[in-house]
Amino acid sequence: MEYFIAPSFKKTGCGTDFYSDLHVYAKKNNFTLINTMRFGKILLPFYEIIVLCLLPKHSTIVTTWPGFPYQYLVCPCIVNAIRFRVFSLLLRLKKCNYVLVPIDRPLEQYAYRLSQKKIKIEGLVESRLFSSVSIFLCCGAEMTKIYSNKYPLATCVQFDMYDQILPDASTQNSASKPKKPLKIAVSGNLSRMLTAAKGLPKIHGVRYVFTGPGGDSLSELSRSDFEVLGNVPSDKLLEYLSNVHFGLVLYDDKVSEYFSTVMAGKLTTYLRAGIPILCHAKYESMAEYVSRSGTGLVINSYNDITRKMNLAKEMLEMRKKAIYESERIKEGAHYKEAFMKMKKYLS
C-alpha cells in the first residue's frame, strides 16, 4: 500500500503551497491520503504517531515532512527529540519504505534568527529521523547534493521543480515579440527581498512589478519604475504575470545562502505563467536549471540586466521554452517523473 502522509491546509496569499499541491497530485494518482493537519498543529505530532501505528507492515510512506517544519522553531528540542525517536522506531518495526520530499530546510532557512546551539541540537535530532529514509525525492541539483552527501545509504532521486496547482487562468502565453514598456515581475514574500529590491538598477524603458505580501515600504519609495500591486488573488496572478517579459529571482542577503540550494516557488510561478526567468548565479540550484533548460538568463550582477535583456531573438526562444515548461508544470510532469523513479527503485 502507498500512503501520502503530510500536512495540508487552505492556501492563503497569491501563490502556491507545495504541501497542498503535493496532496492534490497524490490524490489524483491513487495514493491513500492522510492529512496530518486534520486536528491542527498542536495535535499533529500525536496524530502522525497514531497513524503510523495503524498502518500495515511494509507500507510505502511518502511525506513532505514528519510534521510541520514551523515546529522546529517553536517546539523545545526535547519534544522533537522524543517525537522523532518514536517515529524512527516505528518505521523500523513496521519495515516501511520511508520516502521523503524535503520541501523546506527550516534550520537553514531561519538560521539568521536561530541560535547556533539550537541549530546544532535540532540538526542532530533531524539526522536521527532522516537516517530512516529509504528515498529522498530532491528538487534541484543542490538539494540532491546535500542529501546524497549527508545520507549516503539512502537513494536520492532528483527532479527539476515542484509542479504548481493553481486555478486555470486565461494567460496570454504567446511566443510573439513582447510589447513595450518592458516589465520585470518580482513575486513572492516581498519582506524577504526589501533591501535587495531597493538596490535594483534604474533602467530606461523598464518597470519592476511587485506582487505578494510585505511590500508596503516599496510603495513609499520615490521610484517611478516600481509598481507595487501587493497580494494578487491566485486566479488572477497567472493571467497578470503572463503579460510581463521576465520574472526576477530576488532575495535579501540574509536568506540568499539558503535559497542558493532550493528551487523557490517564484521560479515555478513564473514558468507556470509562461515567462522567462532572470536568475542571479548565486542561487545555484535555480541558476543551474535556468541555464540547462534555456528558460531564462543567468546574471552575475543585477547591473547585467540591461545588457542581458538586449537579446530580442533569444528572448523569444526563451519564452517558447517557458511556455512549454508551463504545460508540463500544469500537468504535474515533474512529480510524475519523480514518483515513477521512486517506484522503480522500490520494485
What is the domain-level CATH number for residue 88?
Answer: 3.40.50
Residue 176 domain-assigned? no
Say how far apart CA 145 and CA 142 lie, in whole Å. 5
Q: Is the domain of 126 the same as that of 189?
A: no
Q: Are residues 76 and 187 in the same domain?
A: no
- Domain shared by 30 and 154, yes or no: yes
Nearest Cα to Cα of residue 251 among 225, 287, 223: 287
Same-domain status, 322 and 336: no
Do 122 and 96 belong to one domain? yes
- Whether 291 is covered by a domain: the verdict is yes
Provide the domain limits for residue 306: 182-330
Residues 28 and 137 in one domain: yes
- Same structural domain for residues 14 and 144? yes
> Which helix (H) or strand (E) is 337 found in, with range?
helix 333-346
In whole angstroms, what is the distance from residue 27 CA to residue 54 CA? 20
DSSP-derived pairing of the beta strands 182-187 and 155-159: unpaired
Digitized pLDDT (tens) for each residue of the chain, 347 residues in all: 788 887 776 555 445 567 777 888 888 888 999 888 888 877 887 888 899 899 999 999 998 865 555 555 556 667 777 878 888 888 889 999 999 998 878 778 777 777 888 888 878 888 888 888 999 999 999 999 999 999 999 999 999 998 886 655 555 555 555 567 889 999 999 999 999 999 999 988 899 999 999 988 898 888 999 999 998 887 788 888 988 999 999 999 988 988 999 999 899 999 999 999 999 999 999 999 999 999 999 999 988 887 766 666 788 899 999 999 999 998 889 999 999 999 999 98
SS3 content of the chain, % helix, strand, coil (to 5): 45, 15, 35
- The answer to the question of residue 170 being in a domain is no
- The single-letter code of the amino acid at 91 is L
Q: Are 104 and 11 part of one and the same domain? A: yes
Residue 322 sits in the same domain as residue 338: no
Residue 102 falls inside a structural domain = yes
Please list, in sequence order, all residues whose beta carbon lies within 8 angstroms of the beta carbon of residue 156, skipping any fewer than 6 positions away: 135, 136, 138, 144, 147, 148
Do residue 190 and residue 206 come from a single domain?
Answer: yes
Report yes or no: 67 and 7 within 8 Å, Cβ to Cβ. yes
Domain identity same for 326 and 339:
no
Quote the radius of gyration of the chain (alpha carbons, Å).
21
159 and 28 in a common domain? yes
Model pTM score: 0.87
Residues 10/40, Cβ–Cβ less than 8 Å: no
Total domains in the chain come to 2
Which residue from 103, 94, 28 is spatially nearest to 61, judged by alpha carbons? 94
Cβ atoms of 27 and 33 within 8 Å: the answer is: yes
